[in-house]
A and B are shown apart, each in its own frame.
Chain A
Amino acid sequence: MTDVPLNLLRRHLLLGGAALALPASALAQATPRAGTLKVAFLGLDTADPHRHTGSIAVQQVYVETLTSIADDGTVKPFLATGWEISPDGRRYTFTIREGVRFHNGRLLTAEDVRANAVRVRDQVRGGWLSAPMRLVESLEAPDARTFVMTMKEPYGPLLNLLSELWIVAPESEGWAQTIRLPIGTGPFRFGQWQPNVSFQAPAFAQYWQPGLPRAEAVEFSLRDDSDLSLALRAGDLHIGRVGYDKLASVRADPNLEVQFMKDTTWWFWSFNNRSPRPPFNDIRVRQAVSFMLDKPAFMRFVAGDAGVVTNQMAAPGQFFWDKAMHGADAHAAPNEERARALLREAGVNPATTPCRIVSWQSAYSEIAVQAMRKLGFQVEHLALDDIGAQRRLGQYDWDLAPFASGPRADIFLRFVRLMSDGPNVGLWGGTRDAEFDRLVRAAIASVDLPERRRLYLAAWQRAIDNYYTVVIGHAPEPIVNRREVKGYAPGFTWGQHRVDGGLAFAAVTARS
């Protein structure tokens, strides 16, 4: 689990980093570039980094950002060597790193950064950056090394969110519409892409970090394989994600090493908050069914020993997690007797009450179904694919939705999904709570970290009290690599290239 020290966060937020710490670069300098890394994480849905709607795992190797999320979840300088924030928290002045070259050989300037920010602000709708970009007052590049971003109001998560504003050369093919051949500054170039099959990225010889990348190329498998453990064991893959249920067999293989991502995936169930159907609009009924949730058993099922039970969107030990709130979790253990008593009190007869559950086609959703059936509800379970589930959730004709969500660059990206105008709010039941929105907005606008934490926690307490979403627990995703891979460690998010690690630092040696 990641424990982010308060003083460290504050220092990075207010001052920025004056210098880039590259712990592995010195080691990398001495190693000649060799081998092709074969990896599989998530997919690549578009060649246009500004328009991506899915994973950031692949594109991060050929395009870079001003900031980077470090292993400990803090924000660090990347293409920017540092930044200053004005006392009112509205004006961000970035110093752009010197000597950074695009894949076409041209040097990166502040004007390139400005052009990318303008493109995202003016052309891209949806996505994580849409909210901060709506708040941009001006974007300026007063000289070749200075980029200034002025917000209409203070926006706390900005530096973290800028870790997903990828800088592409404006001369890239398709810039005016959809970029087809992105020219980035990353350690690998945009090579051959076969959608849903593979993506090959050769090393960029003029990469700005000396000695990196350490591999000659990286080859991503983009196939939607549910189980990569066999490919890893056979040596067809060097690095890949593996399900918790395969960890035992993977650990038994001496050629494989298991590591965990630094941030967590978290599991929850949401009630329909936008248009709740009786009797699920009664808080006693929500409370009752939540008493049927066996959180410890659920987490053991989805994550084995790696799972932890809690009631918050931040994982235990993280800065935005609260111990007292955790201790007050009314649903830390199931209580069937209490559940039935609450239903009686609410005058609900489950035997005559339909309950529609929407989920992905995941085994853990069946545990939620079982809980409702055990209570006697007439369950209709709609297990759908990602798009089908999103569509159905948007119809708000359901009662309960068990889902999971992955690591994020900033805690705001978790809170925003419960805001009235947040992106993809269906998973969280389309909450509409003006007070919740106000608290999250105040948290975002707060420059003072303890105050921001207080406001986020106050917002989350509302979610707990009103049973908008019931958090079950957290677990970090296991990533497996073959032992002939040296220097690789998974990061805080799915991004596979960051300031202090990732695929640029990984080398593949001959099999022993």
Chain B
Amino acid sequence: MSASATAGMPRAGGTGGLALGLAVLGFALLAGVFGPSLVPHDPLVQELAARNAPPDALHWLGRDHLGRDVLARLVAGTRISLAVALGATLLAVGLGAGLGLVAEALGRWPSFLVFGAFDMVRAMPSILLALTLMVALGIGIWPLILALGVAFAPHMALVARATWRREGSAGYVAAARVMGASSLATLWRHVLPNIAGALVTQAAIIMPRAITTESVLSFFGLGVSPETPSWGRMIAGASRYAESAPHAVLAPVLALCIATLGFALVGNRLRLALDPLRERGR
């Protein structure tokens, strides 16, 4: 598509996109935090006589294959899916960026060893690695966070290394060293605040991937336990009945799509806002 052809189109990273993204995420956050106390149904309670019942005045999104309220499960699932994604992203940042930056700051050999290990991890696709880790760790929220965090850590490490190397040649880093600051002190006091934007941007990109990966793992039966209402589990459970009860599978699928879109819009805007090359190009 030519530049002129796209000139009139709204940009995903524009303020409109950012507002939409923030609105989606804000709504998801509110739903995750307050939703379970607002929906008058227990997401775990089954009513087998009302299996796959369509939406009605009492159950706005209908019932699933075990007669559970879909809205209650969707809202509870929002909390679980967001919590898992947030936990996994924080772990990926801590493990990937933290370990990567410290190794870089300590010199050539620590960096060689740590990034060699990350390269080995990267040799396997994230989802396959997470799947393997879940098989080894067992199902549950904490193993899920650990598996996803480890799977996405190399991505954070690479971004951290690239930004560290870019900043390492900057004058303020040389000045700090001349003043006698150690590598780790320079990293902590001077470099980290300058690369935080890039790390936040990368984290915003990882979050939706963590949500979708959690859904895929749960779909394969390797995420949270079956009755726990995560979006992936809901899709896995209801997909078998998609023909007779489409409402039960559509609700979590749409929630997953919208949340992923929200994160993508916000992440893209952050990337544009914090991109130093773009800054220099102005």
Contact = CB atoms under 8 A, between A and B. Distances in A.
A181 interface: no
Contacts of A245: 65, 240-241, 244
A121 interface: no
Most A C-beta atoms less than 10 A away, residue of B49, B138, B225: B225
Contacts of B65: 245, 363
B51 A301 contact: yes
B54 interface: no
Q: Which 10 A-B pairs have the closest CB atoms?
A: A361-B221, A381-B225, A297-B48, A383-B226, A370-B46, A366-B227, A301-B48, A369-B227, A366-B226, A366-B66
Contacts of A365: 226
A227 B226 contact: no
Bin chain A's interface residue count: 20 to 34
Given A294-B48, A363-B237, A369-B227, 12 more contacts: A248-B244, A249-B244, A366-B66, A367-B46, A369-B226, A370-B44, A370-B45, A370-B227, A381-B226, A382-B225, A383-B225, A385-B221
B223 to A, nearest CB: 10
8 contacts: A245-B240, A248-B244, A294-B48, A298-B48, A301-B51, A363-B65, A366-B66, A382-B139
A300 interface: yes
A373 interface: yes
Contact of B240 (A226, A380, A383, A385): A226
Bin chain B's interface residue count: 10 to 19
Contacts of B56: none
B221 A373 contact: no
A382 B46 CA distance: 19
Interface string A293-316: 010011011000000000000000
Interface string B115-149: 00000000000000000000000110000000000
A249 B243 contact: yes
Interface string A261-299: 000000000000000000000000000000000100110
Interface in B25-82: 44-46, 48-49, 51, 65-66
Contacts of B221: 361, 383, 385
Interface in A363-377: 363, 365-367, 369-370, 373
Contacts of A298: 48
Contacts of A381: 225-227
A62 to B, nearest CB: 33
A245 B227 CA distance: 19
A367 B240 contact: no
Nearest to A361: B221
Nearest to B65: A363
A369 B240 CA distance: 20
Contacts of B244: 245, 248-249
Contacts of A373: 44
B139 A367 contact: no
B224 to A, nearest CB: 10
Contact of A367 (B49, B66, B241, B243): B66
Nearest to B220: A361
A364 to B, nearest CB: 9
A267 to B, nearest CB: 14
A245 B66 CA distance: 12
A381 B243 CA distance: 28
A298 B51 CA distance: 12
Nearest to A366: B227
Interface in B231-264: 237, 240-241, 243-244
Given A248-B244, A297-B49, A370-B45, A383 B139 contact: yes
Nearest to A381: B225
Contacts of A363: 65-66, 226, 237
